A and B are shown apart, each in its own frame.
Chain A
Amino acid sequence: MKRQIPVILAFLTGTFVVCAFFIEEPHVVGLNRKLDELLMIVTAFALPLGVVSFLQHHSKKIGRRQIGWRNSIVSLLSFTVMACTGVLEPFIRADKQAVAFNWLFDWMFTPLQATMFSLLAFMIASAAFRAFRVRNLEAAILMIAAVIVMLGRVPIGKYVLPGSGPLTEWIMNIPNLAAQRGILIGAALGAASMAIRIILGIERPYMGGAGE
């Protein structure tokens, strides 16, 4: 019974969500919206679980002096400072503002985020270097197409390679889009097939594997 209840729940909610996609009766639409809200509530309840896991993981690392344990100290310190300033500061300050938290967020957290994101440019350069090494016919076609597209996307491109603009549009809109749509249709069918398997209880990844 312990294993049957989740399967029945998955079937009922799955069937309801599928039907709700085709129905616009206000009660059904409302209930469907409530299910979405429920997910957010469940996530909020699961967050403390994440916090406990985070604290345990880093405490163990420090206790056992595992690789990167110094970074764990920084992680725990950062967590404590952000949590304290975010939660306690509005209670302490007369104007109820979390000034220190906002300062840390704006001037430390956001730049760090931006730094990580900007790394992407360098990663693209190194990945492109590897991808464009001409080792076989396919790699050669890929490189030629990439060079045309890159030239077609920059203003100077039309002077370096006349006609690169229209050629770029053709590459992007015909062969590239056709391949993308092929993948998209396959992925959509795969997702729908998996959804049906889960609704029918054939596959139960949420319980650790396939059905019986």
Chain B
Amino acid sequence: MSGRIRLVLGGILCVTAWGVMSQGRAEPRGIVSDSVVTARSASVERSGYVQPSTRCFRAERKNALVLFLFFAASILAYIALAKRGATLYIRKIAGLDAVDEAVGRATEMGRKVLYIPGIMSVDNIQTVASMSILGYVAERTATYGTQLEVPNKDPLVLATAREVVKEAYLKAGRPDYFQEDMVNYVTYDQFAYTAAIQGLMTRERPATNFLIGSFYAESLIMAEAGNAAGAIQVAGTAELAQLPFFVVACDYTLIGEELYAASAYLSREPLILGSIKGQDLVKVALIVLIIAGVALSSAGIGEFAEFFTQR
């Protein structure tokens, strides 16, 4: 899809959202909503009966809409900048720099690379981010001729991961190396999956383990099993409660936003880099807003902070 079409689509997205906000008080007559029904006393006086009407826009979410519009606009602006050839800097992420080293280690040792895409389905954005990294890892294993295994908990992730790995092997010019069995299904149960992975790490001793995606109670069990097996481990998650476990048990950890920046960092695509810069701009704006909110609230002006904290 060309960049111009993409910008138009982005514009449509912003305009649609803005249109929704601007017609926030539209009240179609005669429609009774299950959710919110408002009755205006004026209509009661005029007709003698209650005139039900629906609220179209969730007014309590206007703060989210303002931030979303600013966010989308800044991302689109930076994407346009990137298209014009601007140099965009992205800081070093040790965990992502280690991907090549980790795959190289497995190649030298003649052992396999194990990639765990988390335990959630493809509707979880962390799993989607994990698929981007899997594509890169699979391209590397295809190039070096290293064995790769991707055991899955969710059948939808299985289908997606298989497609991603297949595409990566094609891109690397090694479609003959791809085997469907590389990406296999284990079970839908969390701890049965954990037991299977732990057993696999202990028996087959993969040289490299990637634990990237959404993890819960199984995170430490898997990471410790990999550590005990002597594997180099790269983990990544945005689950706050699991981060300390990964930091302790793995060699490299992608913390929160680093997981989502991985595709930009690894591919160095100017368009994706542009979106990361747009995200940074919003982060700066949020810091300013937080400081302003604290200062104004301390000065007794609570409306500013209230606007951004109402749900």
Interface bits A190-212 vs B (CB < 8 Å: 1, else 0) = 11111111111111011111111
Cβ A68 vs Cβ B184 within 8 A: no
Asked whether any CB of chain A lies closer than 8 Å to the CB of B106, the reply is no
Decide: A205 near B72, CB < 8 A? Known: A22-B64, A39-B123. no
Q: In chain A, what residue has the closest Cβ to B24?
A: A22
Asked whether any CB of chain B lies closer than 8 Å to the CB of A102, the reply is no
Asked whether any CB of chain B lies closer than 8 Å to the CB of A80, the reply is no
Cβ B128 vs Cβ A23 within 8 A: no
Cβ B13 vs Cβ A18 within 8 A: yes
The contact sample of 7 A-B pairs, CB cut-off 8 A, is A21-B64, A24-B56, A24-B57, A116-B195, A185-B286, A190-B260, A209-B267
**What chain A residues lie within 8 Å of B12 (beta carbons)?**
15
Asked whether any CB of chain B lies closer than 8 Å to the CB of A175, the reply is no
Asked whether any CB of chain A lies closer than 8 Å to the CB of B88, the reply is no
B168 touches which of A60, A185, A192, A208 (Cβ 8 Å): A208
Q: In chain B, what residue has the closest Cβ to A4?
A: B1
A24 touches which of B36, B123, B278 (Cβ 8 Å): B36
**What chain A residues lie within 8 Å of B223 (beta carbons)?**
127
Binds A, one of B39-47, B198-206, B293-301, B303-311: B198-206
**What chain A residues lie within 8 Å of B232 (beta carbons)?**
none
Cβ A194 vs Cβ B283 within 8 A: no
**What chain B residues lie within 8 Å of A202 (beta carbons)?**
6, 79, 269, 271-272, 275
Decide: A49 near B159, CB < 8 A? Known: A130-B248, A131-B248, A190-B260. yes
B residues adjacent to A (C-beta < 8 A): 1, 6, 9-10, 12-13, 16-17, 20-21, 31, 33-36, 54-58, 61, 64-65, 68, 71-72, 75, 79, 121-123, 125-126, 128-129, 131-132, 135, 152, 154-156, 158-160, 163-164, 166-168, 171, 180-181, 183-189, 191-192, 194-195, 199-200, 203-204, 217, 220-221, 223-224, 238, 240, 243, 245, 248-249, 255-261, 263, 267, 269, 271-272, 275-276, 278-279, 282-283, 286
Nearest-Cβ distance from residue B252 to partner chain A, whole angstroms: 16
A208 to B17, CA, bound (A): 29
Binds B, one of A50-58, A91-99, A148-156, A161-169: A50-58
Decide: A205 near B131, CB < 8 A? Known: A43-B154, A189-B282, A197-B275. yes
**What chain B residues lie within 8 Å of A116 (beta carbons)?**
191-192, 194-195, 221
A177 to B285, CA, bound (A): 21
A196 to B276, CA, bound (A): 11
Asked whether any CB of chain B lies closer than 8 Å to the CB of A46, the reply is yes
A187 to B283, CA, bound (A): 11
Nearest-Cβ distance from residue B257 to partner chain A, whole angstroms: 4
Nearest-Cβ distance from residue B7 to partner chain A, whole angstroms: 9
Decide: A190 near B220, CB < 8 A? Known: A46-B158, A67-B203, A206-B160. no
A185 to B240, CA, bound (A): 11
**What chain B residues lie within 8 Å of A117 (beta carbons)?**
191, 217
Cβ A123 vs Cβ B224 within 8 A: yes
Cβ A186 vs Cβ B256 within 8 A: yes
A57 to B223, CA, bound (A): 24
**What chain A residues lie within 8 Å of B155 (beta carbons)?**
43, 46-47, 49-50
Which 10 A-B pairs give the minimum distances between C-beta atoms?
A: A208-B167, A190-B260, A190-B257, A187-B256, A50-B155, A46-B155, A50-B185, A186-B257, A116-B191, A205-B131
Cβ B164 vs Cβ A205 within 8 A: yes
A53 to B181, CA, bound (A): 7
**Interface size in chain A (residues, C-beta < 8 A):** 71
Cβ A191 vs Cβ B260 within 8 A: yes
Decide: A123 near B220, CB < 8 A? Known: A18-B17, A198-B128, A209-B171. yes
The B-contacting residues of A in range 1-16, CB under 8 angstroms, are 4, 7, 11, 15
Nearest-Cβ distance from residue B64 to partner chain A, whole angstroms: 7
A193 touches which of B160, B240, B275 (Cβ 8 Å): B275
Cβ A208 vs Cβ B163 within 8 A: yes
A42 touches which of B57, B156, B257 (Cβ 8 Å): B156
Decide: A203 near B263, CB < 8 A? Known: A24-B35, A189-B257. yes
**What chain A residues lie within 8 Å of B57 (beta carbons)?**
22-24
**What chain A residues lie within 8 Å of B199 (beta carbons)?**
68, 71
A39 to B126, CA, bound (A): 17
Knowing that A113-B192, A190-B260 touch, tell me 5 more A-B residue pairs with CB under 8 angstroms.
Answer: A49-B159, A196-B72, A200-B9, A205-B263, A209-B135
Decide: A57 near B181, CB < 8 A? Known: A201-B6, A202-B275, A207-B167. yes
**What chain B residues lie within 8 Å of A128 (beta carbons)?**
248
Asked whether any CB of chain B lies closer than 8 Å to the CB of A137, the reply is no
Cβ A212 vs Cβ B1 within 8 A: yes
